[in-house]
Structure 1
Amino acid sequence: MLAEPVLPDAAFSGPLQSAITYEKIPTHIYADAKAASRAVAHEIAALIRQKQKEKKPCILGLATGSSPKTVYAELIRMHREEGLSFHNVVSFNLDEYFPMEPDSLQSYWRFMREQLFDHVDIPAGNYYVPDGTLRADKVAEFAKHYDQQIAEAGGLDFQLLGIGGNGHIGFNEPGSLINSHTRLMMLDHSTRAAASVDFGGLSRTPRKAITMGIASILGAKRVVLLAWGERKAPVIQGAVEGTVTETNPASYLQTHPNALFVIDTAAASELTRMKAPWLVDSVVWDNPMKKKAVTYLSLTLEKPILKLTDRDYNDNGVSDLLAQYGQAYDINIDVFNQLQHTITGWPGGKPNADDTNRPERALPTHKRVLLFSPHPDDDIISMGGTFQRLVDQGHEVHVGYQTSGNIAVADDEALRFADYVVDFNTRFGIKSPEATRIFQDAATSLRNKKDSEMDTDEVRQVKGLIRMGEAKSTCRFVGIPVEHAHFMNLPFYETGKVEKKPLSEEDIKITMDLIEKIKPHQIYAAGDLADPHGTHKVCLDAVLEAVKRLSHKNFMKDCWVWLYRGAWAEWDIHEIEMAVPMSPDQVTKKRLGIFKHQSQKDGVVYQGTDSREFWQRAEERNRATAGLYNRLGLAEYEAMEAFVRWKG
């Protein structure tokens, strides 16, 4: 069985896997994906070893995607360091795109070999992946045979699953029936949009896939589903706490006698025990929990905080809060004032003002500010209003662009840029052989590039230059000197692929060097962990590790670190420690700043499942934050950007 989950919230008085009436599937919550993956890998290893003792094969159903990668990495480590053998393992993979060549970069055959099979001693004939090279009229026959092979092997002993943003398991999209078996499936638009990151655009993403059916999955003796990141939180909540429905195929696992969800705290954030833990267990009513409960109560009842009554508290499971702190009137005023004190138009601190109840210090009056931007547009998208405010209020603002963002430029945009440079040099007789060669080679490569083919070094240089120019344009627009724009080009990003290298010492050193050079009073970093395997997460890890290593330096004793979120989500209202309001004119100016990133407008390469442009996402998120404050009974603003202070 799985190891004990890590307790992510000290406010809980009992273990997270205790009986919860809201949850219809056993669910283990871990502090992070790495710890969760270790536990799952160890369960799989124990099963393999038990079957070896019984001299039986171990039949595994395996998944692809980002979620199981850390599980496979741990299994490989156990094979190399602890002698875990896979000689008795027979595996059947859930799915494969159709059509798909096995050596394609996006092939699940290739994924499984690179992520597991090539690194362990599983016999070559013991693993099966649906065949994406079949003729369409042969798929039905293949699918029937695939299910027969599983049955003849004795059935799946263990099925590993991920989950899509729409609740799909395997490629069983919403609408799939509980009695469905292996078949060809038309992919949902949201699934294709999410996968388009790997294929370099939606138009290149397959429309079909061969997948095990729901009945095939439910036939396994044990099913474990993995989910990481807050983007999965709503669909996890529906699958675990909602009704069994074909609109969320993962909910079918409620009918399985031995299913388990293994998720991190971000993916668990919409579960009742995380969102309103006082409804399921005793909690420690410290100030953060009090603030969380009161804001939740206010928003749920659609009543401003100052209008909440004792009866509201008693009738909605928060009577213990009254017992500890007294009447609702006093609690309401306390929480209302805490929220009021987060709002400031002076993100760098207000000069000559009492800063006792302000989120930032008044002194020093003029601060050195270092804003870390994972991609070249995250600064203006995520905190453009605050960025502008800091500059306007006279602070020395620097931006550290952590990565080049070169993979997010469309090929036709890069080709247009490369052709322009070549034509310009030719027309005006500019002779720069090496530069001309780079752009000519890039243009040639782009004209001949096949779908799913990696960019050449020359193409990546051109795409990186495009994004660098756009970042400089934003800096000029905001009003900071271009020499305050620092292009860090962290090595972990420069793979030419969506999948990046792990964070390295070189990445951390580059980050430390920039911090030491600026000696900032404020650091802003992207705390957007919607995708724990994504660029934002690695960039944040680099910043926080650098800050920790520099903490002994004198200048760091006067440095505060503020975390902002990305274009998709905002901090929960009870978490916000600084909220910077924006007027209608400031919202418009931020939009114009985002427009400076022309390569990211009117058709982003990695759009994801959200069809809105970045300026639309940012504005709607900022207006929603202001709306929450207003619903809680505070002043009405056009928009707000929110921050949480990291204290180490």
Structure 2
Amino acid sequence: MIEKFNQKISPAGKFKNEGYHDDPYLRALITKHEKISTKIYGSSTEGSKAVASEIASIIKIKELEGGKCVLGLAVGSAPSEVYSELIRLHKEDGLSFKNVIVFNVMEYYPIAPEALQSFNRNIREKFFNHVDIPEENINYLDSTIPQERIYEFCHAYEEKIQKVGGIDMQILGIGRTGHIGLNEPGSSGNSLTRIVSLDNITRTEAASDFFGIDNAPRKAITMGVKTILNAKRVRVLAWGEGKAAILKKTIEGNITEEIPASFLQHHENCKMIVDEAAAADLIRVQTPWLIDSVVWDDRLIKKAVLWLCQKVNKPILKLTDRDYNDNGMGDILAERGSAYQTNIRIFNELQHTITGWPGGKPNADDTNRPERKTPAKKRVIIFSPHPDDDVISMGGTMLRLVDQGHEVHVAYQVSGSIAVSDDDVLRYLDFIGDYTTGLTEDDKKIRAEHDKVRKFLANKKPDQIDLPEVRRIKGLIRVGEAKAGCRYAKVKDENVHFLNLPFYESGSVEKHPMGKADVKIVADLIKEVKPHQIFAAGDLSDPHGTHRVCLDAIFQAIDVLKKEEWMKDCWVWLYRGAWHEWEIHNIEMAVPISPDELMRKRNAIFKHQSQKDGAMFLGGDNREFWQRAEDRNRGTAQLYNDLGMAEYEAVEAFVRYEFL
């Protein structure tokens, strides 16, 4: 279901020469800007299965030849589905790994092999423990040896690879900085296995695994760029829109040490395996009309016209025939008429996305409005993955819905407990400790529990999972903040729901797989409220991230309920989070936010005090969440203004998910 929606928001455009997949000349034309062979799949699952199938074929061929299959394996979210499919092939189809030799690509330094964040532990638990690969065939990068012996170890690692005949297939992910393995920007194309210093962006992104950047390692051991390039085949996996920008630079840009992945342009048998969201910035996807003739449907015309406006720095109604002709869009004029006619149509379409009535305007003509006018007072569920995504991502719209008299429910899908620092726990313990007198039996029980928590936190190691009592306190901190935010927005107390989906409650950054219990909890709430509107977080950048899993739970719940009569009156709107906004051509509802409303939204975000002043999981962006939200909302408003619309202070944007 997510993949189906992804196809709606990431239309690649169809070339008139649809046979280009089979015609080498046409394929060369379509992919002429790509310096690394790139295969685009409909989903990460589809791409992962293709890579797993290729690995299985190599293993079988080597087995028939009486040789060993040598694999270089990375870890992380990118290849996890590859390993899951290989395990399935082993258990169901009898694929044996007895003739497989593995070399791991990277490991933090120093780190204990059993640490939660250890790449060695990660790949054992996700892959090796489930297949019949002999332990002696697994080569780990040892991150426990003294630093003075690292050079000797790395040299021996390279010799081991050469001794077994080199790596037959190398599996990699790609970092947002363009690192492969942990070869950071500045790495030489001739680099071999070695110790490296980690880039600050890499450390910031790893901070979530280490419960804060202060605990994130500064060094790692990694295969070098040359080590990787020496592999007979290289397959790089990248999923989600978060990788789109760096993939464009890697695949279509120049070779540079600032983007180590760009060295893969030298490799004769390297393929980038990506999904449609990750491929979104490639020329053949983003602007296919610049390459060859395309089929101009309405959606592609809208995308192209809005792109043209930004390229020539003109509002829609000022585009000329020459602008179209000079930018590969002359076919639109031949098929649809003059620039004036197309401009008017796109202008009207974009203008009709704007509404100050996100719940529909009563007693108004709703023919060209994004939402229905009836019923005038709607039941609304705002699903928020974490306890602050509601106000960060659509706080202005949430305030507007309440102000306009709709029955607004807010459902927090996970506790968000791991995003609360230990210092915040201690601060609350101090308060409760000072508040309780110690005279009653209940006070004594509370103090005993607090003493246990304090002792644990005083001796807690960076890779240690919190005690249940600690997780409970952290969860309650976020519950209190979420209630405060809803109170500020005037959402009724009885309409605030904490779902605590089970998949999240692992105690660590690595979550459980989503299951039927998660879907049932979501479905039960929808069935209870019978909403006319559902708002949900549409962040699709990480196929295994919390937002993505929460969205999938909603989609599956809707799929279970969609035959119910009352569901025919339910519309589903998707908002974006703190990292990305919908591309302008995809936006179907744009809600203007006034300066006063933007300040109210900021105040609602400020109720989440544990996520202010250096929240634990800021990712690669050091701005606080309220700053990101305001910059994003103002940027969307500016874009509408540049295209010739009215000038607003800020705009929140939504895309509709049509499930019927």
Q: Does residue 542 of structure 1 match 2:553?
A: yes
For 2:70, what is the secondary structure of its paired residue? strand
Offset of residue 16 of structure 1: 8.2
Assess if the C-alpha contact under 8 Å between 2:12 and 2:285 holds in 1: no
Q: Out of 350, 368, 377, which is 1:357 matched to?
A: 368
Q: Tell me the residue number matched to 2:639.
A: 628
Distance in 1 between the 2:445 and 2:343 partners? 68
Matched with 2:104 is 93
2:75 aligned residue: 64
Contact 1:419 1:443 (C-alpha < 8 Å) held by counterparts: no
Q: What does residue 564 of structure 2 align with?
A: 553
| Partner SS, residue 369 of structure 2 | coil
Please point out which of 377, 388, 391 is paired with 2:388: 377
- After superposition, residues 306-455 of structure 1 pair within 5 angstroms as 306-426=317-437, 429=440, 431=442, 435-455=446-466
Residue 283 of structure 1 and its aligned partner are, at CA, apart by: 2.6
What letter is aligned with 1:284?
A: V
Whether 2:226 is the aligned partner of 1:209: answer: no
1:475 pairs with 486, 497, 500, which one? Answer: 486
Find the counterpart in structure 1 of residue 524 from structure 2.
513
Describe the superposition over 1:573-632 as per-residue Cα deviations: whole angstroms up to 9, x where unpaired. Answer: 000000001111111111111000000001111121111100001001111111111111
Aligned AA (2:434): D
Q: Identity, % of aligned pairs?
A: 57
Q: Which residue of 1 aligns with 2:24?
A: none
1:622–1:641 contact (8 Å) kept in structure 2: yes
1:155 to 159, 166, 177: 166
> Quick one: which of 109, 122, 134 aligns to 2:120?
109
Q: Distance in 2 between matches of 1:199 and 1:446?
A: 15
Q: Which runs of 4+ in 1 moved over 6 A?
A: none
1:300 to 303, 311, 326: 311
- Is contact 2:387–2:414 with CA below 8 Å preserved after alignment? yes
Matched AA of 2:632:
R
Quote the Cα distance in structure 2 between the aligned partners of 1:184 and 1:72: 26
Q: Please report how far the alpha carbon of residue 420 of structure 1 lies from its aligned counterpart in structure 2 after TM superposition.
A: 2.0
The CA distance in 2 between the partners of 1:552 and 1:430, in whole Å, is 53
Distance of aligned partners of 1:599 and 1:369 in 2 relative to their CA distance in 1, 3 Å threshold: same
Amino acid at match of 1:519: K
Q: Distance in 2 between matches of 1:201 and 1:366?
A: 44
Gaps of 5+ in 1: 1-5
Quote the Cα distance in structure 2 between the aligned partners of 1:38 and 1:162. 15
Amino acid at match of 2:14: F
Selected match of 1:253 from 252, 264, 268: 264
Q: SS in structure 1 opposite 2:116?
A: coil
Partner of 2:107, secondary structure, is: strand
Asked if the contact 2:438–2:444 (Cα under 8 Å) also holds between the matched residues in 1, the reply is no
Structure 2 residue 39 is the aligned partner of structure 1 residue 28? yes
Quick one: distance in 1 between partners of 2:265 and 2:624? Answer: 37
- SS of 1:397's partner is strand
Cα displacement (A) at 1:168? 0.2
Opposite residue 621 of structure 1, the aligned amino acid is R
* 8 A contact 1:376–1:471 mirrored in 2: yes
- In the alignment, residue 328 of structure 2 is paired with which amino acid? G
Q: Secondary structure of 1:60's partner?
A: strand
Which residue does 1:12 correspond to in 2? Answer: 14
Distance 1:381 1:430 in 2: 41
> Could you give the per-residue CA deviations for residues 261-312 of structure 1, whole angstroms, max 9, x where no partner exists?
0011111111111111222343321111111010011111111111111111
Q: What is the alpha-carbon distance in structure 1 between the residues aligned to residue 472 and residue 445 of structure 2? A: 13
- For residues 301-335 of structure 1, the C-alpha deviation after alignment (integer angstroms, 9 at most, x for no partner) is 11111111111111101111111101000000100
1:603 is paired with a residue whose SS is coil
Task: Select which of 625, 644, 658 maps to 1:614.
Answer: 625
CA displacement 1:450-491 (0-9 Å, x = unmatched) = 111111111000000000000000011001111110001011
- Is 1:136 aligned to residue 138 of structure 2? no
Once the 2 structures are TM-superposed, how far is the Cα of residue 431 of structure 1 from its aligned partner? 2.1
Is the alpha carbon distance of 1:263 and 1:356 closer, same or farther for their aligned partners in structure 2, counting shifts above 3 Å? same
Amino acid at match of 2:589: M
Q: Is the 8 A contact 2:362 2:376 kept in 1?
A: yes
Partners of 2:335 and 2:445 in 1: CA distance: 73
Letter in 2 for 1:94: V
CA contact (8 A) 1:31 1:264 kept: yes
Q: Which runs of 5+ in 2 are unaligned?
A: 1-5, 22-26
Q: Give the aligned CA root-mean-square deviation in angstroms.
A: 1.5
User: Equivalents in 2 of 1:428, 1:639: separation in Å?
Assistant: 54
Secondary structure in structure 1 of the residue aligned to 2:281: coil
> Which amino acid counterpart does residue 275 of structure 1 have in structure 2?
Q
Supply the AA of the counterpart residue of 1:243.
N
How far apart in 1 are the matches of 2:51 and 2:143? 29
1:9 positional shift? 4.4
Write the distance in 2 (CA, Å) between the matches of 1:94 and 1:528.
29
The answer on whether the counterparts of 2:36 and 2:272 sit within 8 Å (CA) in structure 1 is: yes
CA separation in 2, counterparts of 1:416 and 1:15?
Answer: 65
**Cα distance, 1:144 vs. partner?**
1.1
Q: Can you list the C-alpha shifts for 1:244-274, whole angstroms capped at 9, x where unaligned? A: 1111111111111110000111111111111
The residue type equivalent to 1:112 in the other structure is I
Does the CA-based 8 Å contact 1:350-1:362 persist in structure 2? yes
Secondary structure of 1:261 counterpart = strand
Change (3 A) 1:356 1:151: same
SS in structure 1 of the partner of residue 408 of structure 2: strand
Q: 1:356 to 1:60 in 2, by over 3 A?
A: same
Contact 1:108–1:129 at 8 Å: present in 2 too? no
Code of the residue aligned with 2:594 in structure 1: it is S
User: How far apart, CA to CA, are the structure 2 residues paired with 1:426 and 1:409?
Assistant: 27
Distance 1:505 1:414 in 2: 32
Question: Corresponding residue for 1:3?
Answer: none
Q: CA deviation at 1:32?
A: 1.1
Q: Secondary structure at the match of 1:486?
A: strand
CA distance in 2, matches of 1:417, 1:143: 47
- CA shift at 1:423, angstroms? 3.0
Partner of 1:233, secondary structure, is helix
Asked if residue 575 in structure 1 is aligned to residue 586 in structure 2, the reply is yes
CA–CA separation in structure 2 for the residues paired with 1:170 and 1:250: 9
The offset of 1:437, in angstroms, is 4.4
Tell me the distance in 2 between the aligned counterparts of 1:446 and 1:499: 21
Secondary structure of 2:411's aligned partner? strand
Deviations 1:350-402 (A, max 9, x none): 11111111000111111111000000000000000000000000101000111
Per the TM alignment, residue 225 of structure 1 is displaced from its structure 2 partner at its CA by 0.3
Does the CA-based 8 Å contact 2:413-2:498 persist in structure 1? yes
| CA–CA distance in structure 1, aligned partners of residues 19 and 576 of structure 2 | 30
* Partner of residue 55, structure 2: 44
8 Å Cα contact 1:418/1:440 also seen in 2 = no
Q: How many residues align?
A: 643
8 Å CA contact 1:371, 1:399 repeated in 2: yes
* Correspondent of 1:277 among 270, 288, 299: 288
1:236 maps to which of 240, 247, 268: 247
2:280, 2:286 within 8 Å by CA — same for their partners in 1? yes
Q: Does 1:602 align with 2:604?
A: no
Asked if the contact 2:438–2:447 (Cα under 8 Å) also holds between the matched residues in 1, the reply is no
Residues 558 and 282 (structure 1 numbering): CA distance in 2 closer, same or farther, change over 3 Å? same
SS in 2 for 1:103: coil
Which shifted more, 381-390 or 607-616?
A: 607-616
